[in-house]
Structure 1
Amino acid sequence: MTNDHRVAVPGPAASGVGSLPGGDQGAALRLVFDGLGGAPGLPYLPELPARGVGADMTGRTAGNLLVDIAIDLAPSGWRVADAPGRDQGRAVSHLRRDLDVLEELTQDYTGPLKLQAVGPWTLAATVELKHGDKVLADRGACRDMAESLAEGLSRHLAEVRRRVPGATSLVLQLDEPALPGVLRGTVPTASGFGRLRSVDEPLARDLLRRVIETAAPDGHVVVHCCAPGVPLTLLRDAGASAISLDWSLLRTRQDEQLAELIEAGTVLYAGAVPSLEPASAVPPNYQRIVDEILALRRIGLPARQIAGAVVVTPSCGLSGASPQWAARAQRLCLDAARALADVE
């Protein structure tokens, strides 16, 4: 499949994965836009899981973006329900307030904006059916949930466009940390005593493609996976215009795939900045980050081409970091992107 790469922010640029520490959305948004609100930055709507129920990754997406599917929180996690409950109401309340603050603080903003949501396979691997195992155990339920998610994402993007009219383009990030496990058959059952059967790559690709094409047919979609074994070719063939990954997990056996991605115009969101403050007495600096990214020259492409295909990010979300490190990590991303812009 030939992908139409409509990339809102070509590299080199800087962004974040999505989550930040703390519970003050106004402070989080100011941190993001103060640091990434101009070129070469790609600001995003922060997620603040420290706020508790409904602010977590799964609850935020399932509670707000599934159309005609209600959820509730059971002792084992989020579960499909007959009707929305109090816990789903908390998820809705969190996102409504976040969008209100976003609208208020971006009155004069002009530029791209990134939004994050859980992708269909990670959602299926973390949400349970009403009276059974995880949604992943039922292929029909997986399709139904994916279709519901796609419609909800489309509505969400439309609402953000109305609220932030200065957004020149919206980037949709689908978080799929569970996808490698879905493909390998290592996702545990709801009881935890077994493993759910693996999903064939063609099915995984096609369902993800339907979500991408329905939710953002004319937009920009990056798929984030910070787990080992990111299925690079599958994500490209599913229609992702960019792939976000933990740079430290790249293996030389993936070099051929990486070269093909870059030459085809796929942008790599390089998670090269640690998401937690390193214990080393020597703190990382932006030049070290640049060197780690340009080590990809081993694939045989010129440094300038690699630099132009990269958006620098932390290796994963920053919710577990201190506020000081979250701010420092964002500055490192921006400084590294500016240095990459000067690469010859």
Structure 2
Amino acid sequence: MAQTASFPWRPGSATGVGSYPGDDPAEALRVVLGELPGLPHLPELPGRGPGADLIGRAAGLLVELPVELQPSGWRLAGRPGRDLRRAHDHLARDLDALEEVAGGYEGPLKIQVCGPWTLAAGVELPSGHRTLKDAGAVRDLIASLAEGVAGHVAEIRRRVPGARVLLQLDEPGLPAVLAGTVPTASGFARLPAVEEAVAVDGLRRVIEAADAWPLVHCCARRVPYGLLRKAGAKGISIDLSLVPDRDDDPIGETIDAGVALFLGVLPGTDTQLPSLQDTAAPARELWRRLGFPAATLGEQTVITPACGLAGASPRYVRAALKRCREVARTLHEAPQM
């Protein structure tokens, strides 16, 4: 039987993963607040270019570790430059829009930041090697990110005083980091696997520094559920279509521990949406297969798209978010249909 848990959202809630098409943060926020009133999120708009992307946005939060953009990607630099200023400008515009559009909002509000291990695999050292290659550099990166994320959360609270902030760490690269399959700079070799205890410690440092309700998004086939729980994640966001039957035990243990599941039920790019019941069916089947009471399904899950929506059309985004909201409501109100 799952432990009783208190979540900062109402049962039957839906939210987005993070990214959104277009370049207008105020308009994106208005759509999110309209379609996801129970658990809105701060949209990310990577289509604006460098500095608005997953890695560049998080790199812009680093404290005393400036970055610059090279042909190969983001790299630690000796001093701040125009690339870093661009990242700061993108975030500043997002926060200004958040304050303008949602400053009076009260309730749960999710923000997203690239997690430390995906960031370490994506940012280069000045030498051109991945930061992940150097354990000392990784420790410095994690400490810097933790401080930057804490400041970011504090700024969100200042801009939206009535919000209860949820911090989502995006870790799509974590399974590769743990498996030792991250390529070296040359691409001819692979970096050694990071030990689980080290990975747990790195995530925990960022989670504890932020002092927000923590969840981790990992849209991969090998989600390390146990590791994420050890690191302090109270929610885990997954692509439900990638969950194999062999993951039943770790998912069941996660639910039993009272951790929330953010279930991605719709593709992140334009497609013909299935019916409401067909969209809800995989979540119901997962719960039934694991043997948990149907009545808890709408309480311990949040419904989302499978991944970010940056590659989708605005029309599809609205339809997908609306469908997620409808699925969440029906799973709560009619879990056994």
Q: TM-score range by the shorter chain?
A: over 0.9
Change (3 A) 1:243 1:131: same
Q: Which residue does the alignment assign to 1:74?
A: 70
Partner of 2:216, secondary structure, is: strand
Asked if 2 retains the 8 angstrom alpha-carbon contact of 1:10 and 1:311, the reply is: no
Cα–Cα, structure 1 residues 304 and 5, in superposed 2: closer, same or farther, change >3 Å? closer
The 8 Å contact of residues 169 and 216 in structure 2, kept in 1 or not, is answered as yes
2:219 and 2:177 mapped to 1: Cα distance? 14
The 5 Å alignment of 1:193-208 reads 193-208=188-203
> 282, 285, 293: which is aligned to 1:295?
285
Letter in structure 2 aligned against 1:180: P
Return the offset for 1:149.
0.5
Q: 1:164-186 CA deviation, whole Å, 9 max, x = no partner?
A: 1121x100000000000001111
Partner of 2:25: 25
Tell me, in whole angstroms, the C-alpha distance in 2 between the residues paired with 1:11 and 1:107: 24
1:191 is aligned to 186
For 1:191 and 1:74, locate their aligned partners in 2 and report how far apart those are by CA, in whole Å.
15
| TM-score, with structure 1 as normaliser | 0.93
What is the match of residue 172 of structure 2?
A: 177
> Are the counterparts in 2 of residues 6 and 241 from structure 1 also a CA contact under 8 Å?
no
**Which whole-Å deviations, capped at 9, do the CAs of 1:242-299 have from their partners, x for residues lacking one?**
0001100111111111111112110000011111122x5xx31222121110111111
Equivalent of 1:215, from 200, 210, 216? 210
Provide the secondary structure at the position in 2 that maps to 1:204.
Answer: helix
Deviations 1:163-216 (CA, angstroms, capped at 9, x unpaired): 11121x100000000000001111111222221111111111121112111222
1:11 deviation in Å?
4.0
Residue among 135, 139, 145 paired with 1:143: 139
For 1:91 and 1:107, how far apart are their aligned partners in 2?
A: 22
1:9 aligns with 9
Partners in 2 of 1:289 and 1:243 — Cα distance?
20
**Quick one: which of 274, 278, 285 aligns to 2:275?**
285
Match of 2:97 in 1: 101
Q: How many residues align?
A: 332
Deviations 1:296-327, CA, capped at 9 Å, x for gaps: 11111122223321100000000011111111
1:54 aligns with 2:47: no
Give the Å deviation of 1:115: 0.5
Contact 1:25 1:48 in 2 (8 A): yes
The one-letter amino acid of 1:71's match is: V
Distance in 1 between residues matched to 2:171 and 2:313, nearest whole Å: 25
Which runs of at least 4 in structure 1 moved beyond 3 Å after TM superposition? 3-7
The 1:119–1:5 alpha-carbon spacing in structure 2 relative to 1, beyond 3 Å, is farther
Residue ranges of structure 1 left out of the alignment (5+ in a row): none
Q: CA deviation at 1:117?
A: 0.4
Return the offset for 1:10.
5.4
Partners of 1:4 and 1:207 lie apart in 2 by 28
CA distance in 2, matches of 1:11, 1:273: 20
**Alignment partner, residue 308 of structure 1:** 299
Work out the CA distance in 1 between the residues paired with 2:6 and 2:143.
23
Over residues 44-93 of structure 1, what are the superposed CA-to-partner deviations in whole Å (9 max), with x where a residue is unaligned?
11000110111111101101x11110000011000000011111111000
Query: What is the distance in 1 between the residues matched to 2:157 and 2:230?
Result: 27
Percent identical residues: 53
CA contact (8 A) 1:294 1:307 kept: no
Say if 2:328 is the partner of 1:337.
Answer: yes
Greater CA deviation, 199-208 or 121-130? 199-208
